Structure 1
Amino acid sequence: MPSGPPMDSVLFMTGTSPIGILARPFPKCSIFKPSTAISIAHMIQTPHFDKMHETVPPLRPQGWSGLGAPLYIKIAVLGGLLVWFFHIEIAKTVQRWMSDPSWSHGFLIPLFSLYFLHQNRHKIFEIKAKPSWFFGLGSLILLLIVYWLNTVQFKFSYAESLLFIAAIGATVLFVGGWALLKLTWLPIAFLFFAVPLPGRLYTQLTLPLQGLAAQVSAVVLNAIPELEATLSGVVIDVLYRGVPLEPSLQVAEACSGMRLLMAFVALGVAMAYLHQRPLWQRFILLLSTVPIAILCNVIRVLVTALIYIFWDPQYAQGIYHDLLGILMLPLAFSFYGGLAWLMSNLFVEDAEPSEDVIVVRRTESKMSGERV
């Protein structure tokens, strides 16, 4: 009778193996003979097999952490070249942020983009890096050529800012491929809120906002006893107890609400991105930023008119006027937060089960099926 381990150990080894890569059930079929099982057990128990099993690393996708210093040097060089190539446009944009109060929020936009990247840092460093030479480098070279032609021939400053942001996206695609661009496209696109609009386009957007604020204010003032408001464009002539008030109220460009609209829409996009909500709720919250900003500006114009009529005209202009405009941002956030709370409490959706819960449910379902 051949020597070897007892039959119990043979049966155990032909059932399951708890050692190393063989730790999974083996089918108990006729092809696994006792002699085969004994030879497998002898191989597993040898020191050579244990050493081989310990030295072979698992196969994993190569992420950013495994690429070493050359990749970071490449990113630093490309980033430096990009800043050098667009340094004139960057300086003009920063100067506009400093000199124009309508775009003073531009300093905050890059900080929000960096925060978005920080939130996704784990996913970014775990992706498999596959640089895109054709689309990434090709589009980057094309954008640089278009930028050079624009600076020499067309000189459209707004296009230069847009080309800079697009070049950032092309650089990301070139360095990390489509997987990296998929995780970073929103922080890059968010930089568009920091680009000042052209003067003509800005005026075309502010005129309807001025007219809307003036119309609503005139309607509300006419509803107040002993007040009569006559609207002429964006100028409101007011009669109080039959006496005309001089000078007339004018909804200037600074009262159009464009500054509040741009800042609040940018913050609305940030909050919709950071909130863990269903996609449709994020979309509604994002769309609500425009009417909320317009409503807050109408309230501002109306309050300014009431202060001018019933209190003291000096408190309706200057620093007090600017302070009232600043207070509209917390009011807009209050409306936004109220809408978010309303949707959270009216539309309660079942949360998706975790992986542990799914495994437990599958096990219970399998066991119940076996009992049947």
Structure 2
Amino acid sequence: MPSATAVEPPEPTLGETMAGVTAWVRENPLATLLLAICGGLLVYFYGFYSVFMNGAQSTAVWAWKGWNDENDQVHCRFIAPIILFILWQRRGELISIVKEPSLRGLAFVISGIVLFVLGIRCLQARLAILSLPLVVYGSAEYLGGKACARIFIFPCLLMLFMVPVGGVIQSTVTLQLLASKTVGALCALLGIHIQLIGTTINVDGHSFEVAGGCSGIRSLMAMTMLAALYVYYALGRLWQQFVVFAGSIFFALIGNIARLFTVVLVAKFWNPEIAGGLYHDYSGFVFFPIAVLAMVGFGNLISRDWSQASARIAKTLTAPDHEAPRKDVDEVEGEKKPASPISYDY
């Protein structure tokens, strides 16, 4: 008899979800009140409590303005909808799990509040943004327990990518030097004459500065966020997720160095103005997808079941040879034996 396979229950519809939420609200009025208070406080302090930029911007407004083209972080504006989508996908678990409130969640909530107050006092909006994952995770564990908080782990980690890099780009001297020196080494290896002075590359009298934005920090931020989403959905084992996520940093840096190297090649063998203008501005749309594909290929490589693959290869190598096709003419000691004469019946 064929073995029965486990069938996962379908995700609840919108109506079933609303019915489940309504039932939970009726059964847990105190938890509902606490949840409403926490949600209201989060919306007010992060969205409407204006303290930054001389009291003109709240934490949310400051972050929104930091997600701009200059910082190459426009993609951060989609993080909140992505988090809501992930939680919506796991709505069945959130409804069905047994809620066991845990006081340990208060430790995370208090830590987040302290960090938020510290960010307000120091006028460091990044600290205020970093406090949000602590508050959300702590609230989930305090109201729903460890099983509920476990669902919020990845969305809370994804919130870390909401921090605008902004002035952090000015502190990327190490990455700038790494990129410029690597490009210089590649040119020396291939016999391409350039002059390297710090982070400035001189190509036939034309200077190209490896600025903070060209250091790889921006592509690094985007790549790591994509890597986090990829490993969350595509890889099941924790060690595979960590390896691919760490490897995404390497692929982002390599892709950026390859882009800078091609800028030098375009300036050397074609047109320096095009290299520093049109090609520099749009080459990222070529090398970044290549880096992403390299990361996906690496993830596919380490997630394959190599034991089955090696077993198939071994079976192919050890399989007996097929019988040689039968010939119409027998060969005896290298000489052909004529076929039997054909008889005709009249």
TM-score by length of 1: 0.67
- Ranges of 4+ aligned residues in structure 1 off by more than 4 Å: 69-74
Residues 287, 144 of structure 1: alpha-carbon distance in 2 compared, 3 angstrom cutoff? closer
- Structure 2 residue runs of 5 or longer lacking an equivalent are 1-19, 48-57, 310-346
Residues in 2 aligned to 1:101 and 1:318: alpha-carbon distance in whole angstroms: 18
Residues 220, 140 of structure 1: alpha-carbon distance in 2 compared, 3 angstrom cutoff? closer
Answer yes or no: is 1:222 the counterpart of 2:198: no
Deviation for aligned residue 1:145: 5.3
Residues in 2 aligned to 1:333 and 1:99: alpha-carbon distance in whole angstroms: 20
Residues in 2 aligned to 1:172 and 1:339: alpha-carbon distance in whole angstroms: 34
Residues in 1 aligned to 2:303 and 2:109: alpha-carbon distance in whole angstroms: 43
Deviation for aligned residue 1:246: 2.1
Q: Which moved more, 1:189-198 or 1:88-97?
A: 189-198
Which residue in the other structure is 2:123 paired with? 155
Residues 349, 170 of structure 1: alpha-carbon distance in 2 compared, 3 angstrom cutoff? farther
For the Cα contact (< 8 Å) 2:200–2:210, is it kept in 1?
yes
Residues in 2 aligned to 1:341 and 1:202: alpha-carbon distance in whole angstroms: 32
Which residue in the other structure is 1:9 paired with? none
Read off the aligned partner of 1:96 and give its amino acid letter.
G
Residues in 2 aligned to 1:229 and 1:185: alpha-carbon distance in whole angstroms: 48
Residues in 2 aligned to 1:107 and 1:275: alpha-carbon distance in whole angstroms: 23
Answer yes or no: is 1:180 the counterpart of 2:140: no
Which residue in the other structure is 2:67 paired with? 97
Q: What is the aligned counterpart of 1:169 among 126, 137, 151?
A: 137
Deviation for aligned residue 1:322: 2.3
Which residue in the other structure is 1:361 paired with? none
Residues in 2 aligned to 1:349 and 1:167: alpha-carbon distance in whole angstroms: 45
Deviation for aligned residue 1:348: 4.5
Residues in 1 aligned to 2:257 and 2:108: alpha-carbon distance in whole angstroms: 44
- Structure 1 residue runs of 5 or longer lacking an equivalent are 1-62, 239-244, 351-372
Residues in 2 aligned to 1:341 and 1:276: alpha-carbon distance in whole angstroms: 9
For the Cα contact (< 8 Å) 2:227–2:248, is it kept in 1?
yes
Which residue in the other structure is 1:116 paired with? 86
Deviation for aligned residue 1:220: 2.0
Deviation for aligned residue 1:232: 1.5
Q: What is the aligned counterpart of 2:200 among 220, 223, 235?
A: 235
Residues in 1 aligned to 2:235 and 2:248: alpha-carbon distance in whole angstroms: 18
Deviation for aligned residue 1:259: 0.5
Read off the aligned partner of 1:86 and give its amino acid letter.
Y
Which residue in the other structure is 1:329 paired with? 288
Amino-acid identity (%): 27
Residues 72, 327 of structure 1: alpha-carbon distance in 2 compared, 3 angstrom cutoff? farther
Map 1:271-290 → 2, pairs under 5 A: 271-290=230-249
Q: Say how many residue pairs are matched.
A: 277
Deviation track 1:144-193 (CA, whole Å, cap 9, x = no partner) reads 35533542x33232211111232222222233222211111111121001
RMSD over aligned Cα, in angstroms? 2.6
Residues 312, 274 of structure 1: alpha-carbon distance in 2 compared, 3 angstrom cutoff? same
